[in-house]
Amino acid sequence: MADFRKDFIAFCIEQGVLGFGRFVTKSGRATPYFFNAGLFNTGAALERLAQFYAKAILASGVGFDMLFGPAYKGIVLAAGAAMALAREGRDVPFAFNRKEVKSHGEGGELIGAPLAGRVLIVDDVLTAGTAVRESLELIAGQGATAVGVVISLDRMERGQGDLSAIQEIELRHGIPVISIASLDDLMSWLQHRAEFRQNWSAIRDYRQLYGVAHHA
């Protein structure tokens, strides 16, 4: 596991973004952990999160010309990742969409740089994949090419069928989904810490029930 992945997991736990216990997901599954990226809600936390996104993007080796953030969470993440990439010497344009098309002022559905070339989508987690599918349509409609999606955590969890939302996107659209860390990374991190042994066991059982095979 790359050091930045370990650091990211420790950071999420420290920020309360990643927690353990008994929670119920929207789909009604009882899960032993939760991940809420909305709790990265201070300037310092956002700056650190953006640095992790930049590291994951650069480590992936995916070629891209610009970033796109789906409204609403993706807006802040794409802007933050663009700033962090600029600090790493990679200055790229970014854009995001409105939920409601604006008819006055500058108008339109998009804000920021024009969608062009190879576009990397930045979001938090992929649960149903709806925001990504809408983004793919928007990018294609502007004559640009989506080359991948970058997210914070890959839950590695099946949707309604045998595949996860991530696997469905990768299979259907032929683009990679890059994550800062995956559920396997989290389990690996927990396994070597005695105070989290019970949490590790609970997540292992959950993974056996609802998990998918490893994917990038």
- So which residues are the catalytic ones? 102, 104
Dihedral sign of CA atoms 22, 24, 29, 33 in order: negative
Indicate the SS3 state at residue 168: helix
Q: How far apart are CA 157 and CA 140, in angstroms?
A: 28
Other CB atoms within a 10 A radius of the CB of residue 192 amount to 10
Q: Give 22-80 as a DSSP string.
A: EEE-TTS-EEEEEE-GGG--SHHHHHHHHHHHHHHHHHHT---SEEEE-TTHHHHHHHH
Q: Are strands 94-102 and 108-112 parallel, antiparallel or unpaired?
A: antiparallel
Q: How far apart are CA 41 and CA 197, in angstroms?
A: 29
Nearest C-alpha neighbor of 66 from the set 96, 84, 92: 92
Could you tell me which residues come within 8 angstroms of residue 47 by beta carbon, excluding any fewer than 6 positions away? 80, 84
- CA angle 201/53/75 to nearest 5° reads 110
Q: How far apart are CA 186 and CA 41, in angstroms?
A: 22
